[in-house]
Amino acid sequence: MSANDSPTGWSLFEHHGDHAEECDRADRNWGRLTLPITVGAAGAMYAVFALLSTTGLGPWILSNVLFVLLGLYGGHFMRERKRQPLEERRAELAAITATRTPAGQLPARALVFAYGSNLDSARMTGRVESASPVGSAELTGYELRFHKRGSDDGTGKADAYRTGLASDVVYGFLYELDAEGLRILDEHEGEGRGYDRCLLSCDVVVDGRSTKCEAWVYIADSGAIDDTLRPTRWYLDHVIRGAREHELPQELIESLQQTDTIE
């Protein structure tokens, strides 16, 4: 599969699952009701306070009801503050993936799915200093294999191999790059010389919530695949270090630790 065979257009960015949408909708509806409820309750409280002021209970009731109402409205305010960064980030990522790029030109901003040695942020930023972290991500229908022939030493490098099975998932991390950063990464990865940079749909986790987006993924060309290859120890250590750094599933880390290597 080559980059030219991949979609280059509209974003697939959307919420993952109906349950999250229903929760958001319920939160928004409750938010609309919070202010009128607070105002109405304050008016009723004032009337009760006036009625009970002669008994000496008015101030006590007033202070307790005020405490409840402030907690009610404050809780809604904090939910809105918590949601805002996520919505802003989702809109920003959507703008990146929704932009069409003319054939032969690099996009001004791009999302890159890292799953091999680039999982290690120190290695990634050592190659592309401007690389900005986005969040952990998953590529469904693909399997992590170390059968791509390295152009430098001929040893096994990581490949997201397409199986088409929903049970197969490659775990990785999403970075945001500018056009120059993507060009530099193409040179390091050997785009067109063993790896093809393809635009694929993946699930990215931002603030604990999963969302679909399109990202560039380096996929091994069929001519560069050799199932007898093994990765070097130092290469695999980069992958393991990155998996731990980004808190990817423990099952992935254990699988990597059991991978045969060339010392």
Q: With cut-offs at 50, 70 and 90, classify the pLDDT of residue 38.
A: low
More confident residue, 41 or 179: 179
CATH number of 3-14+101-257: 3.10.490.10
- Return d(Cα 144, Cα 138) in angstroms, integer: 11
At residue 164, the 3 state secondary structure works out as coil
pTM comes to 0.64
Hey, what's the torsion of the CAs at 100, 102, 107, 111, to 10 degrees? 50
3-state helix, strand, coil in the chain (%, to 5): 45, 25, 25
| Phi/psi-derived region of residue 27, left when phi > 0, alpha when psi is between -120 and 50, beta in every other case | alpha
- In the prediction, which pLDDT does 129 show? 94
Q: What are the tokens at 99?
A: 């932009």
Q: With cut-offs at 50, 70 and 90, classify the pLDDT of residue 232.
A: very high
Residue 171 in this model has a pLDDT that exceeds 60: yes
Mean pLDDT, the chain, rounded, equals 76
Residue 199: which H helix or E strand, with range? strand 195-206
pLDDT > 90 fraction of the chain, expressed in percent and rounded: 54
- In the prediction, which pLDDT does 106 show? 78
